[in-house]
Structure 1
Amino acid sequence: MSHLSSRQNSSPATPWVLLVDDEVSIRTLMTRFLAETGLEIEEAGNADQALAVLAKRTTEPLVAFVDVMMPGVDGLTLARKFRARFKRGSIVVMSGHLSDVSYWPEDLRDVDFMAKPFRLELVLEKVTAARAAQGS
C-alpha cells in the first residue's frame, strides 16, 4: 500500500522520493535511511500502487527508485510511464537479475541503475545527484 512515510505536514514544494518494490524489507530499509534527509518518502509495493501515488501528487518526485521484477506491471514499463508523465524526475531502476543495461530496451538505456544488493550510501548518492541535476 502506498503511504507517506515521513514529513506528513511538509509543504507542497518539499522534494519527495518514490520507492517502488514488492519487497517490504527493501522499502522499509530505504525509507528509514532516507528519512534522515528531510525528503518526503512515498512507498508502493507494485506499479499500480505507484501510479496511484503519482496521480494524487501535484509535484513530480525528485527520484523514483523502481524494482524491475514485480508482480503485474514490471518496473521497466513503470519507468516508461513515469518518463511520459514527468520530464525532470530521475528514475533509478533496481534489480538483482538484470545488471547488463546493454540488454535493456533501447529507450530505457539512459535510466540510472542500482544492482541489488546495494549499499545504502549509493541510494544517498543517487538522491544527491538528482538534487544537483534539478538545482534543489
Structure 2
Amino acid sequence: MSTHNLLMIEDDVRLADMVSAYLGQNSLSVQHCADATSGLAQLQGAGALPDLVILDLMLPDMDGLEVCRRLRAMQGPAAKVPVLMLTAKGDPMDRVIGLEIGADDYLPKPFEPRELLARIRAILRRRGDDAPAASAVRSTPALRFGSLEIDRDARTVTVAGQPAELTSYQFDLLVALAERAGRVLTRDQIMEAVRGRELEAFDRSIDVHMGRIRAAIEADPKAPKRILTVRGVGYVFAKQQD
C-alpha cells in the first residue's frame, strides 16, 4: 500500500503517539494536532491536505462535532476530506449526529488499533486512493436518471448540472442503489454491496446516510422520488425519469 498522510485531532497525546506509531508501521503517516483550533488551521493552511482526518469528539477548545461542521462548510477540496470520528461516549445518538453532519465513519473508544487501521483502509478504498492508475482502468459509463447523473469514475453527482455534495460513503451507497435500480434492498444488502465496507454498521447509520443523500439529490427530501423507503424491508432506487 502506498503511503497516505493523515491528520489526527486528539487531545490525548499518549493515545495519539500510540496510534501514530502503529499506523506508521502500516504505511500511514500521521500528523497530530492536540486541539481543534490547530487542527482547523492545518486544514485551512496552504499545505497539502491530508487523505483522512481522525477526529476526537471531545476536545478541550471545541466539540468535535463543530469541527466536522466547519470542515464540511469550507470552500474547495478541504470540505471533502474524509472524517473518521472517535467517540468515548457509548450513546449511539452521538454517532448518528456525527454521521448526519458529514463524518464518514465512527469508532468508539476504547478501540483496537487493528480495527482503526481496517476502518481507515476501508474509507481510503471507497475513495479510490488504493485503486490502480487511471490509465490502467477502463472508463465506467455514468449512470443517468433524468436530471440526476452519477459519474462513477470521477466520483461526482450532479442534479440538473449542479453538484450534489456527498461524503465518500454516501456516494458509494448511492451507487449501490442506482446500479440496482428497481430492486428492493435490505440494509444488510446495501452494506454488503458497498465495496470496502467489511465492518459492521448499525441500521440507524444507514437511515442517517439515506437522509443525507435525499437532501442532496431530491427536489423535496420529505417526499422523495428517487430513493424510496420500503417499510419493514429497506430501500429501493426508483427507475422513473424526471
Cα deviations by residue, 1:33-83 (Å, 9 ceiling, x for unpaired): 111122321101110110122133533322111111111111111111222
Letter in 2 for 1:117: P
Letter in 2 for 1:46: D
Residue 129 of structure 1, aligned match among 119, 122, 125: 122
Structure 2 spans left out of the alignment, 5+ residues: 130-242
TM-score (ref. length: structure 1)? 0.78
Residues 28 and 131 (structure 1), Cα distance of their counterparts in 2 relative to 1, 3 Å cut: same
- CA distance in 2: counterparts of 1:109 and 1:88, whole angstroms: 9
Letter in 2 for 1:127: I
Letter in 2 for 1:116: K
Deviation larger for 46-55 or 26-35: 46-55
Task: Give the structure, 1 or 2, with the largest relative contact order (CA under 8 Å, sep 6 or more).
Answer: 1
Number of the residue aligned with 1:89: 81
Residues 91 and 27 (structure 1), Cα distance of their counterparts in 2 relative to 1, 3 Å cut: same
Number of the residue aligned with 1:107: 100
Residue 37 (structure 1) aligned with residue 26 (structure 2): yes
Deviation at 1:106, TM superposition (A): 7.3
Structure 1 spans left out of the alignment, 5+ residues: 1-13
Number of the residue aligned with 2:10: 21
TM-score (ref. length: structure 2)? 0.46
- CA distance in 1: counterparts of 2:122 and 2:39, whole angstroms: 22
Letter in 1 for 2:110: P
SS in 2 for 1:104: helix
Count of residue pairs brought into register by the alignment? 124
